[in-house]
Amino acid sequence: MRQIFLDTETTGLSPENGDRIIEIACVEMIHRKLTGNNRHIYVNPGRDSHEEALKVHGITSEFLKDKPTFDKIAEDILGYLQGADIIIHNAPFDLGFLDMELAKIGKPKFNTFVASVTDTLVMAKDLYPGKRNSLDALCDRLEVDHSGRTLHGALLDAELLADVFIRLTRGQNVLLMDDSLGTHGKSLNVSAIDLRTFDLPIINPNALELAAHEDVLNQIDKSSKGKTVWRKLPSETCALT
């Protein structure tokens, strides 16, 4: 499984009003391990950043004036991203800018080049409803060190997002299967996963939870007219002994 954590910085908030991408960063992870095969590109947007945006990322027009324009880096970045699962925090924002930049050079929408796009903001809202779920808030909640994030930077944010994602999905074991089957579909290769890398807590039920569980079992036993296996086994075992 090849996953790319992607982040951008822009001149402002609105691609519809002419704002452009000024920085793209991609951090690669394969089978939940960072590979170091990343991409980090500054882009000359051909315009100044809004004052408020400049306060956020600190990337000046002077710094960007000798950087390539988006059309010069598009093929490289799209080739790198081809077919990967893309993970973005607040994906509609970045996708809006990427789709705009691609449209300017006659390319189809971003999602046509990749396998999927996952929005970690949506994931976080499902896991922590009603709470702050910015990247900084998630770093605090999940104990990810973001002390170096004084300004927003695409590469640092993509690296932090990768760490946050691993912690958000900890314990979700996925068997990675080889697509190739034998002629009768009987040969299946499965990649081994070392479960020792996962630190799963053991949470014992309290008295109320045990009582509620027992009540459910009793209801099922009653509906099946006493045919439930978990009720029959103890008595049969005792009879044999």
**Residue 64: Cβ-neighbour burial (10 angstroms; 0-12, 13-18, 19+):** buried
Residue 219 CA, distance from chain mean position:
40
Which candidate in 146, 152, 184, 213 is catalytic? 152
Length of the chain: 241
Closest Cα partner for 114 from 151, 88, 141? 88
Residue 57 known to be catalytic: no
197 φ, ψ (degrees, to nearest 5): -75, -10
Distance separating alpha carbons of residues 237 and 241, to the nearest angstrom = 6
Active site residues: 152
